[in-house]
Amino acid sequence: MSVTLQKMVVLQSLLGSYAVEAWIGAKDVNGDDNVRFPEDGRVVGYTFWGRSEPLHSTGDCVKITQAGDQAMADCDTTLPFVCEILQ
């Protein structure tokens, strides 16, 4: 899922109404601080990183926070996830 401004607005409105955080499927696959979508290797595009993210974080997976920011977190954290259906 490429994170565009339009998609972030939709995610923020959906997740904000439930006050939850969710995985978006991107992660630092190679440990090289390049956050990508593992299924095709695309680097995360338009981003809404929270303060000091993603380089000053201990996790390798990307979540959307309750504030609507992207943040790195431990991949073993239990969170819901969002998916994109390609048409």
Residue 1 has pLDDT above 50, yes or no: no
pLDDT tens, 23-76?
988 888 777 778 888 777 777 766 788 888 877 777 899 888 887 788 899 999
pTM (whole model) above 0.95 = no
CATH architecture observed for domain 5-73? Roll (3.10)
Cβ(19)–Cβ(79) below 8 Å: no
Exposure of 71 by Cβ count < 10 A (0-12 exposed, 13-18 middle, 19+ buried)? buried
Q: Which are the contacts of 55, defined by CB distance < 8 A and separation ≥ 6?
A: 33
Domain boundaries, the chain: 5-73
Distance CA 25, CA 9 (A): 17
- For 1-87, where are the alpha helices, taking DSSP H only? 5-18
